Each structure stands twice: as structure tokens, then as C-alpha cells.
Amino acid sequence: MTTTGAGAAVSTERATGWSRQLRLTPLRPVAYITAKAIVGMLISAGAVGVVYACGPFRHARMPADAWASTALIVWLGSLVFVAFGLFIGYVLPRTTPCRSSARSWPSWPSSAACSCP
């Protein structure tokens, strides 16, 4: 859910006027969204790396190519959550993105832990 929260931070930036400031610069909106997506994917890479680093200590056994391929699949799959967070950040006002993302994924108890400013 950290990747969703990273994208949902866009709503806070919109509320504080940061998006308006960026519109005054030559930065294209696509570049800004791409940068936010890259940051979300980097956060996801860290989380996936920690999970896969802990795997051998929990007695998980797989061939090396399976470790690499499943880590890559999980990491690429997190792009959906990054995009979802960006969508929520752009669509909803500042006070509601985390609550809305928690309601959108009711089967995930960790989504209730999303911190909102």
C-alpha cells in the first residue's frame, strides 16, 4: 500500500499549490506523472527486495531463476497500485484519497493503515 500512498500524495501537493507552481515551469505534466510513477516503483522495489531478502531466512527454497523471475513479476505488478494511487490523487480532494483507497480494497486490512495528513 506504500505505492498507492506515494501516488495519493499528489492530492496533498495539489491542495498546497505545488501543482500550480509546477505549471509555471517548463516541466510537462507527463514528465511529472512519470516521475511520480518512477518514485512509486522505486519504493516498491525496496519493499519487494526486503520481502525476497527475508525469504531464505524463513526457509523458502526456489531455484535462483525462480527467485529473480518472481521478484520481477511482483515488482512489475506493483505498477497497478502506483497507477491507482496517482488516479486517486488526481481525482479526489486532499482529505479523502487514503480513505477512498481503503474502501476500494476492503479485503485488504493493511489498506486501513494508510496514513493521511
Please report, for residues 8, 15, 38, 83, the alpha-carbon distance to residue 20 in angstroms, rounded to integers and kept in the order given: 17, 9, 21, 21
Task: Encode 23-57: b = buried (16+ Cβ within 10 Å), e = exposed.
Answer: eeeeeeeeebbeebbeebbebbeeebeeebeeeee
- Report how far residue 34's alpha carbon sits from residue 93's, in angstroms, rounded to the nearest whole number: 21
Query: In angstroms, what CA-CA distances link 107 with 1, 65, 76, 78, 112?
Result: 13, 31, 22, 17, 10
Residue 63 has which C-alpha cell?
531455484
Q: Are 80 and 40 in contact (CB under 8 A)?
A: no
Q: Is 24 helix (H, G, I), strand (E, B) or coil?
A: coil
**pLDDT at residue 45, as a whole number:** 92
Low-confidence ranges of the chain (pLDDT < 70): 1-3, 7, 93-117
What's the confidence (pLDDT) of residue 113? 44
CA distance 117 to 108: 21
Supply the pLDDT for residue 2.
65
Look at residue 76 in the predicted model and tell me its pLDDT.
Answer: 93
Our separate counts of H helices and E strands in the chain read 6, 0
